[in-house]
Amino acid sequence: MSAALPSPPAPSPRGRNPLPVEALQNHLGGLLREREALHAAASPLALERNRREIVRAQRELSYALIERYASG
């Protein structure tokens, strides 16, 4: 029985040039402020687009925080 070779690290889900945590937090804050304004305008399509952008930004922020604190 042979020992398994270690697998190479998975590529980062954050892409090649990920934003730092602080920039992601600022971006997310802007999206949340935009959402408040969209609620006042009652635009369902724009709200859905904004919701998806918020989810994407939250996911990227989660990965950024994991990378920051898992390596330390």
Query: Model confidence over 50-72: pLDDT tens digits?
Result: 999 999 999 999 999 999 998 66
Q: At what angle do helices 21-41 and 44-70 cross, to 10 degrees?
A: 160
Query: Model confidence over 36-52: pLDDT tens digits?
Result: 999 888 789 999 999 99
**Both tokens assigned to 53:** 């952008």
User: What residues contact residue 31 under an 8 Å CB cut-off, 6+ apart?
Assistant: 50, 53, 54, 57
